[in-house]
Structure 1
Amino acid sequence: MVTTIITFLIVFSILVVVHEYGHFYFAKRSGILVREFAIGFGPKIFSYRKNGTTYTLRILPIGGYVRMAGYGEEETEIKPGMPIGLVINSEGIVTTINTSKKTQLMEAVPMEVVSIDLEKELFVEGYLAGNEDELVRYPVFHDATIIEEDGTEVQIAPIDVQFQSASLPNRMMTNFAGPMNNFILAIIAFTILAFIQGGVLSSDNRVGEVEADGIAKKSGIVTGDRILSVAGKKTDKWADVVAAIQANPDKKIDLEIENADGGVVKVIPVTPKSNKIDKEKTVGMIGVSPYVEKSFLAKITFGFTHTWSVMVQIFVGLGSIFTKGFKVFSGPVGIYAATDQVVKLGPMYVFNFLAVLSINLGIVNLLPIPALDGGKLVLNFIEGIRGKPLDPDKEGIITMIGFGLMMLLMIFVTWNDLQKFFF
């Protein structure tokens, strides 16, 4: 139980942090201010500022997020009449604005705000404590910081460093970078897995390990032989070989074999042994397994080929929405239940599970649904076609509708997972 919980939290956090780092990296490259990069959610435990970004560790160890300036991210609201503290340098320019009651700055000058603009004109105007007769106005430094109510210090977001000020290609790349990072993580994970295992299973019709005292061994089949056909049916792939042999339990059939050494083709008669794999299904087996490719190139390319293979399977699964409905989706509850199963199988299975989940997260985020990265990319494409962005208010409404639909889907999926795994 404890191991499953810890594994779930680690896996889920890795997936989300890697995803968010994609957005973070390309936003920074595009000149977009990333105000905060958070690991976890909830109250802050620790924070550190560097190059305009505040890095925070938060109490709930589930995922993380990035706050990009102007990216649907609300500036800390400072209203007229609100008391704040100002740190002013020797040139009379505000470098820090404190809105938190939890943080006290000895050098801060108390002010009651009358007017403030931290996006365009960069000023703050109000009455200093003890002098409500004289209205004072201070310029605000472009890279000034603001201490938010919970004590987190982040940089203010002038309009020139906001998301919408970046070029369209840069914004599109920033939106796509999260899912892209998930695909890269899967490629790396599958490649590492191939090296740890010492090789990868070949998908062609070559024979790998031959079971001692099995039917294949007795028939003279050796490692490296190719099974060209089974019972007259052509078998180019290992999946074809397995399907054809399993379909003929206790039946005498001919295998067309290409010899591993000289390439000589011969026909070998075998009778697959029947074996029950469940109460209702009996299959034939001859005691062979697929060939294991151990070359360096095979291990390197496996990360790419297997990632693509899993992506195709996921797209096929998504297509079944039209026949099976949204039951094909799993939420956090389903992921937790699956984590419990792979933890029992061992670390290698957990590693494989991480890669598959990463691909799932990348693909789901690319679905053309408002509030997801795919929905944002659709809006980017529309902007490119129109030659101008959508009205911010309309885009906000579309995003809110998408977010609402996502919440409804999450509730449905969670309920479905609860029924599937616990009832």
Structure 2
Amino acid sequence: MKTIITFIIVFGVLVIVHEFGHFFFAKRSGILVREFAIGMGPKIVAHQAKDGTTYTLRLLPIGGYVRMAGMGEEETELSPGMPLSVELNEEGVVTKINTSKKVQLTNSIPMELVRHDLEDELTISGFVNGDESEAMTYPVLHEATIIEADGTEVRIAPRDVQFQSAKLWQRMLTNFAGPMNNFILAIVLFIILAFMRGGVSVTNTNQLGEIQPNGVAEKAGLKKEDKVVSINGEKITDWNELATVISENPEKELDFIIDRKGEEFSISVTPRAEKSGKQSVGKLDIAVPMKTGLTDKIFGGVTQAFDSSLTIFKALGSLLTGFSLNKLGGPVMMFQMSSQAASEGITTIIAFMAMLSMNLGIMNLLPIPALDGGKLVLNIFEGVRGKPLSQEKEGILTFVGFGLLMVLMVLVTWNDIQRFFF
């Protein structure tokens, strides 16, 4: 249960923060956000706010999404012959269009749809009360709403508030805002981690940090701020080299050359053995030296976020030079990592979330249709060309990109299942 809750919270926060980026800058650009959903699947509750956005909570507690006007796959499907009802104001203008069998409007007019234009003309025509002798045409209010089949009420999408009606730079910023929010979240989480841990680890030094009481290092005579010059004649320049030598030599006596305040001397130390998976590793019961100043923690969190991005770029580079499904992970791997993080405590969960947030931001900027990076490529193409790609061609590219991503996701998920359960 702890793993499930951790997985839902981590994945949910990452996606909601990502989608809020799109939502915020779409609003600032005059683009109508028809729905902001928390969760996926069937609607549980919905509230239409005065800003024109319908906020919904959905059944499956993973992720969320925003529906922006003009994004074709998010529009309500209306077709000739479709039964619906309309609600009029005192001036005879349509304020609501009901397509749902779940919702009944008390003062509505039943209609069989003949034609509609909810983008430019803002009109709707149909046969009223079963009278097919003449189609009645009604003007539609610019801020009218439409009740969809599942009962969700959202605003219609006139052309002036659609995504494509915004300026190019506004659309680019709206597309980039999701990944940008993930980068910001990662930086904030890494800074929080630095404060929770009391400082930032310094790994580019051979100096020792805190010495655990009654541990191997203390019993051998090692002290905080000692510098390890060499081990068994092998020069030590940073913490990673020190940690590697220690971990590779459990229960083996090692000859340390120590520099303590400018004086060098030799100490024999035998790392204790500790189980790590199926093998034993050496431990000295020493901590990495830390910088504990306020600016050190803030700058260290930013640096750690940057380092994590470099790690992700290196992983992407290794995919290009030698592709393997084992280098990728899907929801199953995320669940496994959530389980491990949940068992290790809140700091590990935050570190896991920070790394995933950076990962999500970078992956979404890949120039693949259906991802934010693919949309930005189309924006740049439009800027160079002077006009956008036709909606039909853009739709085809998005469909192909989405299809390829789904195929890859299925393959990665199946590979994860085989790795973890068979």
Q: TM-score, normalised by structure 2?
A: 0.90
**Alignment partner of 1:420: what SS?**
helix
Q: Is the 1:274–1:282 contact (alpha carbons within 8 Å) kept by the matching residues of 2?
A: no
**Residue-by-residue CA offset, 1:350-378 (whole Å, 9 max, x unaligned):** 22211121122112111221111111112
Q: Is the 1:330–1:414 contact (alpha carbons within 8 Å) kept by the matching residues of 2?
A: yes
Opposite residue 127 of structure 1, the aligned amino acid is F
Structure 2 distance, partners of 1:125, 1:186, is 51
The 5 A counterparts of 1:311-390 are: 311-321=309-319, 322-323=321-322, 325-390=324-389
**Residue-by-residue CA offset, 1:46-102 (whole Å, 9 max, x unaligned):** 000111100001111111111111124342122222222111111221111111111
Structure 1 distance, partners of 2:179, 2:373, is 9
The 5 A counterparts of 1:403-422 are: 403-422=402-421
**Residue-by-residue CA offset, 1:388-420 (whole Å, 9 max, x unaligned):** 211211111111111111011001100110011
> Please, which of 240, 260, 263 is the counterpart of residue 266 of structure 1?
263
**Residue-by-residue CA offset, 1:299-335 (whole Å, 9 max, x unaligned):** 2223211111111112112222133523211101111
Specify whether residues 106 and 270 from structure 1 end up closer, same or farther in structure 2 by C-alpha distance, changes over 3 A only: same
Structure 1 distance, partners of 2:376, 2:327, is 24
Structure 2 distance, partners of 1:39, 1:420, is 31
Specify whether residues 296 and 241 from structure 1 end up closer, same or farther in structure 2 by C-alpha distance, changes over 3 A only: same
**Alignment partner of 1:176: what SS?**
helix
Structure 2 distance, partners of 1:331, 1:60, is 18
Specify whether residues 60 and 246 from structure 1 end up closer, same or farther in structure 2 by C-alpha distance, changes over 3 A only: closer
**Residue-by-residue CA offset, 1:233-253 (whole Å, 9 max, x unaligned):** 361x32244346667853435
Q: Is the 2:228–2:257 contact (alpha carbons within 8 Å) kept by the matching residues of 1?
A: no
Q: Which residue of 1 aligns with 2:210?
A: 209
User: Shift in Å at residue 273 of structure 1?
Assistant: 2.0
User: Shift in Å at residue 203 of structure 1?
Assistant: 2.5
Structure 1 distance, partners of 2:72, 2:223, is 62
Structure 2 distance, partners of 1:81, 1:281, is 70
User: More deviation in 358-367 or 130-139?
Assistant: 130-139
The 5 A counterparts of 1:73-88 are: 73-88=73-88
> Please, which of 283, 289, 292 is the counterpart of residue 290 of structure 2?
292
Q: Which residue of 2 aligns with 1:176?
A: 176
**Alignment partner of 2:120: what SS?**
coil
**Alignment partner of 1:208: what SS?**
coil
Q: Is the 2:274–2:283 contact (alpha carbons within 8 Å) kept by the matching residues of 1?
A: no
Opposite residue 300 of structure 2, the aligned amino acid is F
Specify whether residues 215 and 269 from structure 1 end up closer, same or farther in structure 2 by C-alpha distance, changes over 3 A only: farther
User: Shift in Å at residue 228 of structure 1?
Assistant: 6.0
Opposite residue 391 of structure 1, the aligned amino acid is S
Q: Is the 2:220–2:268 contact (alpha carbons within 8 Å) kept by the matching residues of 1?
A: no
Q: Does 1:134 align with 2:131?
A: no
Opposite residue 267 of structure 2, the aligned amino acid is V
Unaligned runs of 5+ in 1: 260-264
Specify whether residues 153 and 284 from structure 1 end up closer, same or farther in structure 2 by C-alpha distance, changes over 3 A only: closer
**Alignment partner of 2:115: what SS?**
strand
Structure 2 distance, partners of 1:286, 1:146, is 67
Structure 1 distance, partners of 2:4, 2:163, is 36
Structure 1 distance, partners of 2:308, 2:22, is 24
Q: Is the 1:19–1:179 contact (alpha carbons within 8 Å) kept by the matching residues of 2?
A: yes
Unaligned runs of 5+ in 2: none
Q: Is the 2:369–2:401 contact (alpha carbons within 8 Å) kept by the matching residues of 1?
A: yes
**Alignment partner of 2:184: what SS?**
helix
Structure 1 distance, partners of 2:96, 2:275, is 69
Structure 2 distance, partners of 1:244, 1:3, is 36
Q: Which residue of 1 aligns with 2:90?
A: 90
Q: Which residue of 2 aligns with 1:303?
A: 301
Structure 2 distance, partners of 1:159, 1:314, is 40
Q: Is the 2:216–2:272 contact (alpha carbons within 8 Å) kept by the matching residues of 1?
A: no
Q: Is the 1:67–1:73 contact (alpha carbons within 8 Å) kept by the matching residues of 2?
A: no
Structure 1 distance, partners of 2:280, 2:264, is 25
Structure 1 distance, partners of 2:189, 2:246, is 33
Q: TM-score, normalised by structure 1?
A: 0.90
Structure 1 distance, partners of 2:383, 2:247, is 54
Q: Is the 1:272–1:284 contact (alpha carbons within 8 Å) kept by the matching residues of 2?
A: no
Identity rate of aligned residues, in percent?
53
Q: Is the 1:215–1:270 contact (alpha carbons within 8 Å) kept by the matching residues of 2?
A: no
Q: Which residue of 2 aligns with 1:233?
A: 235
User: Shift in Å at residue 190 of structure 1?
Assistant: 2.0
Structure 2 distance, partners of 1:210, 1:406, is 49
Q: Is the 1:124–1:138 contact (alpha carbons within 8 Å) kept by the matching residues of 2?
A: yes
